[in-house]
Amino acid sequence: MIPTPGEEMISDIHAALENRQASRLPLLFWRPQNTGIPGDTYDLKEQFYSKERMLHGQLEEVHKSAADNFGAPLCIRPNFGTVFLPACLGLEYQVFNDAYPWLTGHFAKNQVSQVDLGVLINSPMMQQALEFIQWFRMHVPPEVHVYMPDTQGPFDLAHLVYGDQLFLDMYDDPSFVHELLGLCTDLYIDATRILKKALGEPLGSCYHGHALIQGIHLANGGIRISEDTATLISPEHIDEFVIPYDKRALDEFGGGFIHYCGKNDHLLDAYLALDGVRAINFGNPEMHDFLSTMKKFRAAGVCCFGKWPVFPQECPQAYFRRIGSVTEGGRRGLILHLDSTSFPGTTPQELYELSASIPEEYPL
């Protein structure tokens, strides 16, 4: 029988995110929402404009995931894609049937200083999000946790609202870029406060699925920051234009976890050294060397949250031995995602049982 979801997994997730030893490896089975259409009934455009249809799609994903859940929080959200906060500022976007919405315009430089965040809560996009959150909370049981729409991060928001000119202005007009980033950080913080109030969620903690159904509860931090664009810039620009603004957001909510796609070694090192970063999620873990990267996480006392690819011809026992080699047998520094493609022919139940007794064959 599959174990009934309970507090043991939550406790181990808390331990991993707080740099404490867990009783066992926290193991989530990955059912990504951000790589396809949630559910089987309604397309993305139908869901975008209907709280009933979006909730239906989210709950279809819950139904698919629940059988392979061993105690992780089940998490759903109003899912408007990366356009959410730029749309709250009035930027136009296009909604598609089979892909997430995309912005169709950006602010010109002279428009940035004219943005008034005082109207944020009354913007049509924010009002839609608040309506969806209220509807979701009214119609799901307490075992299913509603979390925030995609709020991105300050630097990603700057790229979204201003476009690729951002990269040139870091050289040609850095004072303007700081003005833009100040606005985007205020936007991120103000919107997060509005959304948390609607969710009934404390400022300093959060549930977050990170576009997955099986998620986490972060007791020592209230936010997720997503900074994909930051991987494209130099170490000097990361230190000047990314880290100070992410730090302000993290400080406002008692910490949080970071996501980015791609690879930038300086960005990783900067985040590992930043107070308030509880975990980091890689969008492209295949670009990172497992052993050296996990040693960095362990030395920094930061949790790695996500998926580590399986090596060619690697069996589950060898995979978990490798995982255990830098995680005290899976008990520290990692919340691991697996999915049905990781080990074809091996069930989630079997993988869960194998992961319960990972040996410490090669401790640090």
| Calpha distance 59→51 (Å, rounded) | 12
Residue range 62-82, pLDDT digits in tens: 998 888 999 999 999 999 999
| Calpha distance 52→71 (Å, rounded) | 27
Give yes or no for residue 313 having a pLDDT over 80: yes
| Calpha distance 47→80 (Å, rounded) | 9
pLDDT score recorded for residue 35: 60
Task: Tell which residue, 78, 88, 87, 90, has the closest CA to residue 44.
Answer: 78
Task: Tell which residue, 185, 195, 197, 218, has the closest CA to residue 335.
Answer: 218
Contact 289, 268 (CB under 8 A): no
| Calpha distance 280→216 (Å, rounded) | 13
- Average pLDDT over every residue of 37-41: 92
pLDDT score recorded for residue 314: 96
Contact 271, 277 (CB under 8 A): yes
Give yes or no for residue 97 having a pLDDT over 60: yes
Q: What's at 247, amino acid-wise?
A: K
Give yes or no for residue 359 having a pLDDT over 80: no
Residue 31: pLDDT band with limits 50, 70, 90? low
Residue 358: pLDDT band with limits 50, 70, 90? confident
pTM over 0.75: yes
CA distances from 82 to 21, 87, 122, 146, 247 (A): 35, 9, 19, 18, 21
Residue range 243-289, pLDDT digits in tens: 999 999 999 999 999 999 999 999 999 999 999 999 999 999 999 99
pLDDT score recorded for residue 36: 76
Tell me the torsion sign for CA atoms 148, 154, 160, 161.
positive
Task: Tell which residue, 323, 328, 325, has the closest CA to residue 27.
Answer: 323
| Calpha distance 28→213 (Å, rounded) | 9
Residue range 207-234, pLDDT digits in tens: 999 888 999 999 999 999 999 999 999 9
Q: Where are the domains of the chain?
A: 7-355
Give yes or no for residue 34 having a pLDDT over 60: no
Mean pLDDT in the chain?
A: 94
Q: At what angle do helices 348-355 and 316-325 cross, to 10 degrees?
A: 40
pLDDT score recorded for residue 32: 54
Select from 2.60.40.10, 3.20.20.210, 3.40.50.1000, 3.40.50.2300 the CATH code of 7-355. Answer: 3.20.20.210
- Average pLDDT over every residue of 318-331: 94
Q: What are phi and psi of 27, to 5 degrees?
A: -125, 120
The token duo for 206 is: 């959060």
Residue 30: pLDDT band with limits 50, 70, 90? confident
Give yes or no for residue 3 having a pLDDT over 80: no
Question: Which H or E element spans position 298?
Answer: helix 290-300
